[in-house]
Amino acid sequence: MNSTSHAGDASSRVPGPGSPVPASGLGCPVPASNKEAFLAAQTVIPGGVNSPVRAFTQVGGDPFFVARAEGAYLWDVEGKRYIDYIGSWGPMIAGHAHPKVVKAVQDTAALGMSYGCPNTLETDLAREIIKLVPGLDLVRFVSSGTEACLSAVRLARGYTGRERILKFAGCYHGHGDSFLVKAGSGVLTLGLPNSPGVPKALADLTMTADFNNLDQVRAIFKEVGHEIAAVIVEPIAGNMNMITPLPGFLEGLRSLCDDYGSVFIIDEVMTGFRVAPGGAQQHYGVTPDLSTFGKVIGAGMPVGAYGGKREIMEKIAPLGPVYQAGTLSGNPVAMAAGLANLQLIQEPGFFETLEARTRQLCKGLEEGASAAGIPLQTLSIGGMFGFFFSATPVSTFAQAQACDIERFKRFFHACLKRGLYWAPSAYECGFTSSAHDEAIIAETVRIAAEAFAEIG
């Protein structure tokens, strides 16, 4: 923080562990309780939150308000500490407030917050992403995963001259109109079949199939394949909890898109740089025509990106006719944060350790549930994991919906009151970070065992 704070003595407001005083330094009064904070927020923000899943709608109760975060921990305005397995829904793969990320932001911000002109950090981050993800020729930055996905679909429609897209029920690609058809994540959490406000004419152009059901996809392609501009898929479905592709599923989508001239889009907003340095496409060895990214590449700053084959990407303005733009696209501060994060994940042993710790977590959860006689399925890849209250493995959206959601809610709150924070929805997956060390994993497993015993 610079020495000449322009809004009071910010340094006096920098909180120590457990301090309820956020380092806003802006002189804004901080409510003394989560309840007060939530009531105040609801007077000026719909539902008191800026993204629906944060409102605890599915699990019940009121959300806590975060005062600060560091490493694997969050502290709320009352000074209560939580072990955090959301990590801002994925970006914080190196833990909250990592010194190298914070320094990159501070140093770059001191050079100006945004230029609206090209800056070399954009080139640097694009180069890093292309180096890590096989099959990318060009990358364009935007400011969110939603923007990346809707831009990639517009590009696919512009490149093919076709209008239909195919997505998968329970998969979530952000809140772009074309995607809010049988979507996952917050749409699913709120139990909304589709979102009002999406024009029927547009929604009708979005076809949905069941994740992992290649026969269904083949039948759709057989019927209207030559009208399909793009197939967009989460390579690991992380918005209906966590469901991995069955062997051959992704390869089958690749092959059908080749056969019918459709653009194959893999949405790596969540899985990118999380399940492997090159994302799920590297993990499974399937190369799409376009990929979308977000989260980790911004390290908590608003960054999204889409990229892919040169012949397709060159259709994007100013090279081609497909328009896409953004005031803050390629923002230098955000680029610097993303670069710092991508450098951290390339440190020797980063992914091996992350994978091992996440596996250890899942094993501990299974043992705790088993000791309490509770059926639990867990899975993990890299720093991404999921657990289902189910006696049988889950590989479809319908199976995910058939899990014991009520038991999840009880488990969520039994953990929360003990300072352990899972995603407040049975339809979200979890995220670990390099800050989740062995001691924190052990503490998590201990707390979870108590919670399993309590809910029975």
Shortest distance, position 58 Cβ to ligand KE4, whole Å: 13
* C-alpha–C-alpha distance, residues 161 and 178, integer Å: 16
Which one of 56-64, 166-174, 330-338, 342-350 is the stretch in contact with ligand KE4 (CB under 6 A)?
166-174
Contact positions with ligand KE4 (CB under 6 A) in 246-275: 267, 269-270
Task: Report the residue count for the chain.
Answer: 456
Is 236 near ligand KE4 (CB under 6 A)? no
In terms of Cα–Cα distance, which of 299, 298, 316 is closest to 307?
Answer: 316
When asked if residue 51 is in the footprint of ligand KE4 (CB under 6 A), the reply is yes
Report, in Å, the least distance between residue 135 CB and ligand KE4.
18
CA dist 93 and 383 (Å) reads: 8
The set of long-range contacts for 154-157, using a CB threshold of 8 Å and a minimum separation of 24, is 154/322, 154/324, 155/263, 155/290, 155/306, 155/312, 155/313, 155/315, 155/316, 155/322, 155/324, 156/229, 156/230, 156/262, 156/263, 156/265, 156/289, 156/290, 156/312, 157/229, 157/230
| Alpha-carbon gap, residue 454 to 361, rounded angstroms | 19
* Residue of minimal Cβ distance to ligand KE4: 145
Can you list the alpha helix ranges (DSSP code H) found in 133-184? Answer: 145-160
The first and second tokens of residue 79, run together, are 């000074």
Number of Cβ within 10 Å of residue 346's Cβ equals 14
48 lies in the binding site for ligand KE4 (CB under 6 A): no
What tokens does 248 get?
């051959």
| Structure token digits, residue 81 | 């500490």
Each residue 299-338 as x (binds ligand KE4 by CB under 6 A) or -, in order, gives: -----x----------------------------------
Q: Which lies closer to ligand KE4 via its Cβ, residue 389 or residue 431?
A: 431
Question: In the window 180-219, what residues touch ligand KE4 (CB under 6 A)?
Answer: 185-186
Which of the following is catalytic: 76, 295, 409, 421? 295
- Please state the closest distance from residue 267 (CB atom) to ligand KE4, in A: 5
Near ligand KE4 by CB under 6 A: residue from 70, 84, 128, 234: 234
238 makes contact with ligand KE4 (CB under 6 A): yes
Give the separation between CA 32 and CA 23, rounded to whole angstroms.
Answer: 15
Applying CB under 6 A, does 84 fall inside the site for ligand KE4? Answer: no
Task: Decide whether 128 or 428 has the Cβ nearer to ligand KE4.
Answer: 428
**Which segment (27-35, 123-131, 153-161, 168-176) binds ligand KE4 by CB under 6 A?**
168-176
Interface with ligand KE4 includes 149 (CB under 6 A)? yes
Active site residue 267: yes
Per the annotation, the verdict on 306 as an active-site residue is no
Return the CA Rg of the chain: 22
Q: How many residues bind ligand KE4 (CB under 6 A)?
A: 21
Residue 177 CB, shortest distance to ligand KE4, in Å, is: 13
**By CB under 6 A, is residue 239 in contact with ligand KE4?**
yes
Q: Tell me whether residue 295 is one of the annotated catalytic residues.
A: yes
146 binds ligand KE4 (CB under 6 A): yes
Write the CB contacts of 340 (distance below 8 Å, at least 6 apart in sequence). Answer: 98, 100, 101, 103, 104, 299
Q: Return the amino acid letter for 13.
A: R
Token pair, residue 172, equals 């979530």
Shortest spacing between CB 239 and ligand KE4, in angstroms: 5
Of 342-381, binders to ligand KE4 (CB under 6 A) are none
Report strand pairing: 263-267 vs 420-421: unpaired
User: Which one from 76, 84, 267, 289 is the annotated catalytic residue?
Assistant: 267
Minimum Å gap between C-beta 294 and ligand KE4 is 5
Cα 293 off chain centre by: 9
Would you name the residues annotated as active-site residues?
172, 267, 295
In the complex, which residues of this chain contact ligand KE4 (CB under 6 A)? 51, 53, 89, 144-146, 149, 172-174, 185-186, 234, 238-239, 267, 269-270, 294, 304, 428
